[in-house]
Amino acid sequence: MTVLSGFLPIWAITAVGWAAGRFHVLGSQAQTVLGRFAFAFAMPALLFLTLSRARVSELATEGVAVFAASLLLVFGLGLTLGRWVFRRRQADRAIGAMAGAYVNSANLGIPVAVHVLHDTSFVIAAALFQTLFITPLILILIDLDVRREARDRWSRILLLPVRNPIIAASAAGVAVAMMGWRLPAEVTAPVQMLGGAAVPAALFALGMSLNGRTSGARTSGACEGRSATDGRTERRVLVALKIVVQPLLAYALARWAFGLDGRDLLAVVLCAGLPTAQNAFIFASEYRLDSDLARDTVLLSTLLSMGSLSLIAWLLT
């Protein structure tokens, strides 16, 4: 029950989103609007507030180094498989690699850490690493592809931290934290209220997407020539990377390369075993990529990780 309790809110909100989409409660454009709201406003507010209160120095630990190494190795493997096995374009390869490596460290990682580790410091440090280093990398890979024909391509990349609300908000939050500023309640209260909508909006949009696949969610040609069998195989591979390969790799690195044991070992493996974050679905929807792939990987990995996280906790405690 300790792990299951962290999943219940996720499934409940996703189910309500599915019901709203199934019975057309919010209209045909609700999923798109909710996704854009989460990407442009709610997630940036949440990231800014979280990072402005964080300690960036918490990244300098052996456990975070192990987590980062396992994530980067699996992310690189996902990019390689996307190119040479599944023949994806670069933007979709970035989404696929994100689906196979980027963990749900916020709305699932924190509840699991509270119930199993009784301490959230490690999962917050892992979230910092993902936000500061992996998210910009993913968005740059996507932007380089979707804006391939633009003449000002490289100037767009240099200006990405300004143009992209998620990167801009993250950078601003880190700047506030490094300066040691304490923002007044008059500033943080509306930001906190807006950021509180990030996870529900993303999960609600994810639930609505379960009612069918729309061609508008993809760029033209993103999946042309791909059979249903190829799609199922790709999903299974990405879920296996997330649920099996990444925690095993983290265990091997932590145990035999860094000599971690006890609670430190448990924290690393448990965090690496978290399912795919719904951000993958939001990013794919925002850039009109293959959101079905991200959606299915999020749902399958979340479902299967209820058992895998329980097994990890049982084996390492």
Q: Where are the domains of the chain?
A: 4-218+227-316
Q: Give the CATH number of domain 4-218+227-316.
A: 1.20.1530.20
pLDDT confidence of residue 1? 54
Residue 93: closest CA among 277, 287, 246: 287
pLDDT confidence of residue 222? 46
Mean pLDDT of 149-174: 71
Residue 117, phi-psi category: left (phi > 0), alpha (psi -120 to 50), beta (remainder): alpha
pTM of the model: 0.79
Angle between helices 291-316 and 279-286 (to 10 degrees): 170
Residue 271: closest CA among 62, 126, 78: 126
What tens digit of pLDDT does each residue of 292-305 get?
A: 999 999 999 988 98
What's the mean per-residue pLDDT of the chain? 85
Confidence of residue 87 (pLDDT cuts 50, 70, 90): very high
Contact status, residue 71 vs residue 277, Cβ threshold 8 Å: no
The conformation of residue 103, written as its DSSP 8-state character, comes to: B
Contact status, residue 254 vs residue 269, Cβ threshold 8 Å: yes
Burial of 146 (0-12, 13-18, 19+ CB in 10 A): middle
What tens digit of pLDDT does each residue of 217-259 get?
A: 444 344 545 666 668 899 999 999 999 999 999 999 999 999 9
Amino acid at 57: S
Looking at per-residue confidence, does 226 or 165 come out higher?
165
